[in-house]
Amino acid sequence: MGDLTHHLADFHHAYLRDELPRIEDFLSQLGARHVNRHPQLRSLREIFAAFRDELTRSMIQEEEVLFPLIRGLESSEASVSLRRGLDSSRQLLPQHGNTAKILARMRALSEGFTAPEDADVEYHVLYGSLALLGNEIRRLLHEEDGMLFPRAISAATTRLEDTRWRRFGRWISPS
């Protein structure tokens, strides 16, 4: 699990930190030029800002709190930390559900990131970037929600049970 947290932060999160502001700037510039003919660009820009905020908040929480706790699951850590890690994992899951919903709204608004017939080259490049970002987010959510968090919750639950078992063991021991 430790390797996976480093991979998520160093590869997926690093990609998002470069790509989110780049796409947002691009969306603002393109929106300013084409919003009269393509009003959906304004809505897309607003939704994208919420998407960026959500992802940025989630990445900070994961890198500063959750990932270190998950790495701690593989070493000997106090049960209080393990419990916090478990709770954090559970709290993060609905946020990712929201990320997927916002992505679906952007996809619907842009008809699957298909540029209109009269779109210029930059419009096509923007939608191409959004489509790639969507694929990247799907991979990220699969690795976090589908792999890392269930493993962390399972490991934390086991460790908590171990701790209780050890306490129980001490309680019944004759010494």
**Contact residues for Fe ion (CB under 5 A)?**
58, 144
- CB-nearer residue toward Fe ion: 60 or 78: 60
Minimum distance of Fe ion from residue 49's CB (angstroms): 18
For 98-129, the DSSP string reads: HHHHHHHHHHHHTTTTPPPTT--HHHHHHHHH
Minimum distance of Fe ion from residue 163's CB (angstroms): 27
- CB-nearer residue toward Fe ion: 57 or 164: 57
Please say whether the beta carbons of 28 and 46 come within 8 A.
no
- CB-nearer residue toward Fe ion: 14 or 78: 14
* Helix, coil or strand: residue 78: coil
CA atoms of 157 and 49, how far apart (whole Å): 36
Minimum distance of Fe ion from residue 10's CB (angstroms): 14
Minimum distance of Fe ion from residue 58's CB (angstroms): 5
- CB-nearer residue toward Fe ion: 86 or 144: 144
